[in-house]
């Protein structure tokens, strides 16, 4: 069911997104070669609980952490642990917060410099995919206009586009209708209406489109082990156009 939000709801979601944006400011300062991925989850949990909020991912379908940390060929849902971040890695951080019953969702991929020029290009283009997706938002456009914007931009550079996971509605819970694929699917294609709040999240691979899930039941990796990038914002659809509620 697709639940439209009132202006008051959007204010509540914006507050949740503001907290999440503050968290990303902190994580960007903390991340460097030599730390474990688990450390970033500890920082995340401390920040969220200190602010009287709940980590939305922790316990979601039994997910064991507040943050997803996906390194290099890991696409999404990397579980924080003993892995040490090193120079040349790219690290995708994905988090959601429940603040006063309002849910936010955002992700970005951070390069631990120096990274190769092709990896820099992957990050830049994935970020552009998200920007173009947001620019495609206007009243009475459709979900597939968002999908097409992502897909066409990624494919213009010959990059892989993940099909198995997609963006989604967000706000009253972590995942709501509509689904927002990063390619033009044959699925539902509703028109955009004021009051929709969308988590748009291109997942773009340097190589193949194909991905699979590791035996831990969570971590999604590229089939060819080439790097993957992920950028996500929570965006409200308003009569005036898109309102980006998260930042990083
Ligand atoms: N990162 C996903 C999203 O952006 C949600 C992760 S669910 C979790 O929609 F269980 F892994 F936390
Ligand atoms: Co999401």
201 contacts 193 by C-beta, under 8 angstroms: no
147 contacts 126 by C-beta, under 8 angstroms: no
Testing ligand 1's pocket by substitution, the residue of 174, 176, 199 carrying the most ligand atoms inside 8 A of its CB is: 174
pLDDT at residue 163 in the model: 98
pLDDT at residue 1 in the model: 78
Residues around ligand 2, an ion, CB closer than 5 A: 105, 199, 201
Testing ligand 1's pocket by substitution, the residue of 58, 68, 233 carrying the most ligand atoms inside 8 A of its CB is: 68
Q: Is the CB of 153 under 6 A from ligand 1?
A: no
Tally of CB atoms within 10 A around 179: 17
Closest residue to atom 12 of ligand 1, CA basis = 57
pLDDT at residue 57 in the model: 98
- Residue positions counted in the chain: 248
**167: CA distance to ligand 2 center in Å?**
6
Residue 95 CA: which ligand is closest?
1
Residue of 106, 10, 6, 91 whose CA lies nearest to 56: 106
How far is Cα 94 from Cα 66, in angstroms, rounded to an integer?
Answer: 9
Query: Which residues share a beta bridge with 90?
Result: 111
Supply the pTM of this predicted model: 0.98
How far is Cα 213 from Cα 55, in angstroms, rounded to an integer?
Answer: 23
Closest residue to atom 11 of ligand 1, CA basis = 77
Query: Going by C-beta distance under 8 Å and a sequence separation of 6 or more, which residues neighbour residue 206?
Result: 118, 119, 122, 159, 160, 222, 226, 227, 228
**92: CA distance to ligand 1 center in Å?**
12
Q: Is the CB of 60 under 6 A from ligand 1?
A: yes
**125: CA distance to ligand 1 center in Å?**
22
Domains and CATH numbers, the chain: 7-244 (3.90.230.10)
Closest ligand 1 atom number to CA of residue 105: 4
**223: CA distance to ligand 2 center in Å?**
22
How far is Cα 216 from Cα 43, in angstroms, rounded to an integer?
Answer: 23
How far is Cα 153 from Cα 119, in angstroms, rounded to an integer?
Answer: 16
pLDDT per position in the chain (248 positions), as tens?
A: 799 999 999 999 999 999 999 999 999 999 999 999 999 999 999 999 999 999 999 999 999 999 999 999 999 999 999 999 999 999 999 999 999 999 999 999 999 999 999 999 999 999 999 999 999 999 989 999 999 999 999 999 999 999 999 999 999 999 999 999 999 999 999 999 999 999 999 999 999 999 999 999 999 999 999 999 999 999 999 999 999 999 99
Q: Is the CB of 232 under 6 A from ligand 1?
A: yes
């Amino acid at each position: 069911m697709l639940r439209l939000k009132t202006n008051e709801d959007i204010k509540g979601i914006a507050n949740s997104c503001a907290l999440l944006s503050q968290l990303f400011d902190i994580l960007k300062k903390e991340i460097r070669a030599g730390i474990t991925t688990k450390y970033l989850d500890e920082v995340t949990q401390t920040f969220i609980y200190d602010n009287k909020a709940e980590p939305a991912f922790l316990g979601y379908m039994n997910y064991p952490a507040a943050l997803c940390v996906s390194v290099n060929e890991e696409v999404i849902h990397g579980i924080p642990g003993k892995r040490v971040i090193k120079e040349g890695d790219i690290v995708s951080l994905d988090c959601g917060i429940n603040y006063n019953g309002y849910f936010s969702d955002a992700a970005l991929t951070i390069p631990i410099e120096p990274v190769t020029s092709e990896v820099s290009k992957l990050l830049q283009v994935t970020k552009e995919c998200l920007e173009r997706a947001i620019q495609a938002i206007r009243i009475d456009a459709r979900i597939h206009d968002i999908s097409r914007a992502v897909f066409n931009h990624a494919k213009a550079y010959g990059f892989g586009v993940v099909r198995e996971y997609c963006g989604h509605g967000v706000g009253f819970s972590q995942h709501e209708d509509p689904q927002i694929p990063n390619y033009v699917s044959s699925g539902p294609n509703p028109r955009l209406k004021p009051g929709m709040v969308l988590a748009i999240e291109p997942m773009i691979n340097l190589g193949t489109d194909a991905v699979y899930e590791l035996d831990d039941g969570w971590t999604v990796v590229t089939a060819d082990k080439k790097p993957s990038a992920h950028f996500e914002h929570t965006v409200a659809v308003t009569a005036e156009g898109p309102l980006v509620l998260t930042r990083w």
